[in-house]
Structure 1
Amino acid sequence: MASIARCMRVARPLASLAKSSVSRPIARPFSVTSTNAIRKYTKEHEWIDLSADNKTGVIGISEYAAKALGDVVFVELPEEGKKVKAGDAIGAVESVKSAADINAPISCKITHVNLLLEEKPGTINQAGVADLEALMDAAAYEEFTTAEADH
């Protein structure tokens, strides 16, 4: 599912990566820490993917809700910077069949929104599963790295 909004807090850029007097591009740090998201669902069919450190997350609607809505024709996005409480309406989805509010699954601050949904609301119905099918889950990746280490 296309995400509705990213929430919680904005990551601060590292001061050491700020542009110095020497002209060089600003680099983004690469992290090898665990970034496995934990997906939780509400009874109203929203989900949130929390990062492993529980400091950032992405909110969306479930595949069940997207299918029930049918062809989406309009998505109202939340306002960036807005602080919301769990259960507050943060947006809405309108389809040829019906309309529904999108509620915040947790109390948070909206830091980013998926502007593509405003331009192409029908993308909320596209799960992008084809690309995910080719990727490994944690168990398959562990098996892969074990085999790599043995060679």
Structure 2
Amino acid sequence: MNAYTAPAHQQLRRHRQAADIHQRHLAHTIGVSESALRRWELGHTTPRINHAYAYAATLNQQLTIMRGNQPISPLQQVLPNLARFRDRHHTTRLAMAAHLHVTESAVGNTERKAAAGAPVVLATLERYFAALGYRIAVTPRQPERTPA
């Protein structure tokens, strides 16, 4: 399994360990308990996206939408337009719901939360993108682009 194909929580843990940052320090930095961070890294629970962004940023990484080994876009740029991303793949909300074994309203709620900037659970987004043939990877943080 290459580093980008592992679930995001495993990728984040590997990056934290490689940077030799202790769970206690990272948890304090991103504003969560050490036990919450430990449960995320073990896959027992999953963080909300705002905590996953902070975790990645602390390690100078970002969450990126990937297709194969090709980076598509930083997740933060795609998330506000999640429904549009799905539409571009000619997938209806109903078809997405059937693929994910959830209700159509659950898909709509996730898309509305994402559009509003409300916290969405990382595992939900991983399943959502996987249904469209993508995955979320932890990649080196790209510098902010400023308009010319």
Superposition TM-score tier, normalisation by shorter sequence? under 0.3
Q: Which has the higher contact order (CA 8 A, sep 6+)?
A: 2
TM-score, length-scaled by structure 1: 0.21
TM-score, length-scaled by structure 2: 0.21
Higher strand share: 1
